[in-house]
Amino acid sequence: MGLNKKSVDDINVKGKRVLCRCDFNVPLKNGEITDENRLVAALPTIKKLIADGGKVILCSHLGKVKTEEDKKTKTLAPVAKRLSELLGQEVKFAADPEVVGPNAKAAVAAMKDGDVILLENTRFRPEETKNGEAFSKDLASLADVFVNDAFGTAHRAHCSNVGVAEELRKEGKPAVVGYLMQKEIDFLGKAVENPVRPFVAILGGAKVADKLNVISNLLEKCDTLIIGGGMAYTFIKAQGYSVGKSLCDDTKIDYCKEMMDKAKKLGKKLLLPVDAVAVKDFPDPIDAKVDTQVVDITAIPDDMEGCDIGPKTAEMYAKEVASAKTVVWNGPMGVFENPTLAAGTLKVAQALADADATTIIGGGDSAAAVNQMGLGDKMSHISTGGGASLEFLEGKELPGIAAADEK
């Protein structure tokens, strides 16, 4: 995948209508935004376009929109209000249920250089997620330039990130990436294509199935692959041990054996847990008090399940991270939402924070874990897209990146 993309620094937007696809998919509670990280992350690109005298038209999706009822709670109106406060200037909200309707068209026609408007949730149009031509053309009709700054949806080919770029290209109009997208490409791309070694990859989370291709691709790229979280138990079972009530995907045991063989053939280190923190009953609610027992990984009792890596494993993983120069981490080491079962994830997070290395957190739960532990600012880069960063690490071409002009 070509990673040398034109960015907002390579174009002149003065007096031009700039359609900027952001990721404003923020959590809302009673119409109030409960986490505005994604809004803050979008500000540098928006401010640059304002400063350069562009007419800035922002668009984004918000959640899934399946019914008319969904539209009442999934409007981007609260985002326009909060963005106005963050930017210190009005962000005019174009409230068209069809997204590009009379309000949007009138608002765009009346724009002066440096003005900002926000379109309604792009998923109010059902064809958005199918990359339908009519909606792509509607979006393109508003713009002279397209900027994609939404890495979180880069692995999907939708109207608002791919279709619109293709329509504008037919007219010889530029499609470039914003600063947030550029940073993701720089960090993740370099880690996968040209890492400073030793390169250690850490994969956790519950399901092996989600990470199959990532495991295979990263084994070819990294020096050491560390496996933790619920997915580790399928590997343990593949080694011939009993895993009690632990998460295990019996359909993937042969695959895990293949991966252990692949690591051997390639001369790569594949590290698996040597001990586990086990519980008799999974905590309910998830943060409830829970009785734990540290057990050897080869001796998990039949009536217990592993819910975190044990102290010996955490120590071994931390030591491996300490000698690394590039670390990519995707997926927690255990049930980190429970304070008693978060020790393994915390130990690994702390090791990354202390490491003299480029440390990249692949969005999703690992990002939540690192931020929850107050270590976010100690990492080189925290990805804004869980699914997108996983597909990047699989070595797949991401449609949202591919759609931007090459330098």
- Under DSSP, the state recorded for 248 is -
Name the burial class of residue 110, with classes exposed (0-12), middle (13-18) and buried (19+) by CB atoms within 10 angstroms of its CB: exposed
Residue 364 designated active-site: yes
Q: Are 338 and 349 in contact (CB under 8 A)?
A: no
Dihedral of CA atoms 370, 373, 376, 382 in degrees, nearest 10, equals 10
List C-alpha distances in Å: 273 to 97, 228, 229, 308, 371: 52, 7, 9, 10, 24
3-class SS at 308? strand
Rounded CA separation 259/224 (Å) = 13
From 364, 385, 386, 400, the catalytic residue: 364
Strands 17-21, 55-59: pairing is parallel
Token pair belonging to 37: 């990280």
Looking up tokens 């790569």 gives: 268
Name the burial class of residue 401, with classes exposed (0-12), middle (13-18) and buried (19+) by CB atoms within 10 angstroms of its CB: buried
Helices (H), 88-211: 102-109, 133-141, 164-170, 179-193
Residue 387 designated active-site: yes
From 378, 387, 395, 396, the catalytic residue: 387
Cα end-to-end span (Å), the chain: 13
Nearest to 57 by CA among 5, 89, 94: 94
Q: Are 320 and 327 in contact (CB under 8 A)?
A: no
From 17, 21, 38, 156, the catalytic residue: 38
CA atoms within 13 A on the CB side of 380: 19
Residue 38 designated active-site: yes
Strands 292-296, 275-279: pairing is antiparallel
Q: Which residues are CB-neighbours of 89 under 8 A, at least 6 positions away?
A: 50, 116
From 207, 262, 325, 378, the catalytic residue: 207
- Residues, the chain: 407
Residue 280 designated active-site: no
Active-site positions read 38, 207, 364, 387
